[in-house]
């Protein structure tokens, strides 16, 4: 029987009694969704799944997303295009060179973000599985955006209510000085609007919806919007809202992007780190979601 144990504040649940190689029945699936609504993230240890099994499990929760990496001449993806390759490896499973464009693009994950927030319909869940981890470092940090919202002073809550932020993939890379994008990449990822405060349909809780992609607040001068986004991000990533996951091979993390923000940690990039992520997309855009709420 599937069981849950709280391992950090209120937002990380450790799951036991489940082998992700096996098909998941409707009752277990409902229990996992309900646990995710409450916690925000579930940790499954000691799993032995291959890519197909990770896909089969993930697809139980909704439509799978596609990697955002636009194909470039000379690059062959290492994984099926449903996967986002969260590794430092090339298609031959060799460690990427320091100046490799793919490595620098992936460095954007070191900034606090929510997955696919640069799309009008972002991802609901992310499922990240560890095949290889470095001997130290390379942890992933998660911040609870519901607790961060709850802790805002009332004046701040009033200020952020009904605000819309524009999220741009290119902006998040420009921030770290990476600007090597082709015109078709810019065209493929125009900025996407999202409410700054979202209400979770499962729990009814409000959360701040932030990410390194957020570059402007609609109807505010750009500098004012960026300062507000910075202030909110600093507030939301204070230690009391953060859980740090130290990876072991065989860990699968499943989190709700509506509730949490995350970022990758530093590690020795000459060592292999092979994590593979799938996303389950929302059915409707965040703007439509806000209209029907
Ligand atoms: C991701 C991600 C962070 C990491 O999988 O979406 O941002 O620690 N990962 O690699
Ligand atoms: Mn991510």
Give the residue-averaged pLDDT of 9-27: 93
**Whose Cα sits closest to atom 4 in ligand 1?**
264
Q: Quick check: CB of 35 below 6 Å from ligand 1?
A: no
Both tokens of residue 114? Answer: 């929510």
- Residue range 157-190, pLDDT digits in tens: 999 999 999 999 999 999 999 998 889 889 989 9
Which helix (DSSP H) or strand (DSSP E) does residue 44 occupy? strand 41-44
Q: Choose the CATH number for 3-292 among 1.20.1050.10, 3.30.565.10, 3.60.130.10, 3.40.50.1820.
A: 3.60.130.10
The environment of the single-atom ion ligand 2, i.e. residues with CB closer than 5 A, is 115
Q: Quick check: CB of 85 below 6 Å from ligand 1?
A: no
- Locate the ligand 1 atom nearest the alpha carbon of residue 247 and give its number: 8
Inter-CA distances, 146 with 189, 214, 230, 243, 292, Å: 28, 18, 17, 14, 20
Q: Quick check: CB of 126 below 6 Å from ligand 1?
A: yes
Largest CA distance in the chain: 53
User: Of 256, 278, 274, 266, whose CA–CA distance to 12 is shortest?
Assistant: 256
Q: Quick check: CB of 128 below 6 Å from ligand 1?
A: yes
pLDDT at 5 over 90: no
Helix (H, G, I), strand (E, B) or coil at 284: coil
Q: How confident is the model at residue 73 (pLDDT cuts 50, 70, 90)?
A: low
Measured between alpha carbons, how far is 45 from 18 in angstroms, rounded to an integer? 10
Ligand 1 centroid–CA 266 distance in Å is 11
Ligand 1 centroid–CA 158 distance in Å is 32
For 210, phi and psi rounded to 5 degrees? -120, 160
- Residue range 205-223, pLDDT digits in tens: 999 999 999 999 999 999 9
- Residue range 134-158, pLDDT digits in tens: 999 999 999 999 999 999 999 999 9
Q: Quick check: CB of 169 below 6 Å from ligand 1?
A: no
Length, in residues, of the chain: 293
Q: Strand 41-44 and strand 12-16: pairing?
A: parallel
CB-CB neighbours of 224 under 10 Å: 11
| pLDDT confidence of residue 70 | 60
Ligand 1 centroid–CA 207 distance in Å is 20
Helices (H) and strands (E) in the chain, counts: 9, 15
User: Of 54, 49, 13, whose CA–CA distance to 34 is shortest?
Assistant: 13
Which residue of 263, 271, 279 sits with most ligand 1 atoms within 8 Å of its CB, as the best mutation to test the pocket?
263
DSSP class of residue 88?
Answer: S
First to last CA, the chain: 34
- Residue range 261-290, pLDDT digits in tens: 999 999 999 999 999 999 999 999 999 999
**Which ligand sits nearest to residue 269's alpha carbon?**
1
- Locate the ligand 1 atom nearest the alpha carbon of residue 264 and give its number: 8
Domain boundaries, the chain: 3-292
Alpha carbon 256 to its chain's center: 8
Q: Quick check: CB of 212 below 6 Å from ligand 1?
A: no
Give CA angle at 110 (109, 113), nearest 5°.
60
Q: How confident is the model at residue 71 (pLDDT cuts 50, 70, 90)?
A: low
- Locate the ligand 1 atom nearest the alpha carbon of residue 115 and give its number: 6
């Amino acid at each position: 029987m599937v069981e849950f144990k709280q391992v950090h504040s209120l937002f990380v649940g450790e799951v036991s009694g489940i082998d992700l190689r096996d098909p998941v029945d409707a009752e277990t699936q409902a229990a996992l969704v309900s646990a995710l609504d409450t916690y925000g993230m579930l940790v499954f240890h000691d799993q032995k799944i291959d890519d197909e099994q990770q896909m089969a499990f993930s697809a139980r929760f909704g439509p799978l997303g596609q990697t955002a990496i636009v194909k470039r001449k000379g690059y062959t993806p290492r994984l099926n295009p449903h996967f986002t390759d969260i590794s430092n490896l090339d298609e031959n499973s060799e460690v990427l060179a320091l100046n490799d464009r793919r490595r620098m693009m992936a460095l954007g994950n070191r900034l606090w973000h929510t997955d696919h927030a640069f799309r009008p319909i972002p991802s609901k869940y992310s499922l990240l599985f560890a095949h290889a981890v470095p001997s130290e470092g390379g942890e992933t940090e998660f911040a609870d955006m519901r607790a961060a919202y709850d802790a805002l002073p009332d004046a701040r809550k009033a200020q952020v209510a009904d605000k819309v932020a524009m999220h741009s993939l290119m902006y998040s890379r420009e921030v770290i000085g990476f600007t090597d994008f082709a015109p078709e990449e810019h065209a493929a990822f125009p900025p996407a609007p999202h409410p700054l405060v979202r209400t979770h349909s499962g729990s009814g809780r409000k959360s701040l919806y932030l990410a390194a992609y957020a570059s402007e607040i609609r109807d505010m001068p750009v500098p004012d919007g960026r300062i507000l986004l910075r202030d909110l991000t600093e507030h939301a990533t204070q230690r009391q809202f953060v859980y740090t996951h130290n990876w072991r091979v065989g860990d699968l993390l499943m989190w709700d992007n509506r509730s949490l923000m995350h970022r990758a940690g530093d590690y020795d990039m000459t060592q292999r780190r092979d994590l593979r992520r799938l996303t389950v997309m929302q059915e409707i855009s965040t703007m439509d979601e806000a209209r029907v709420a």
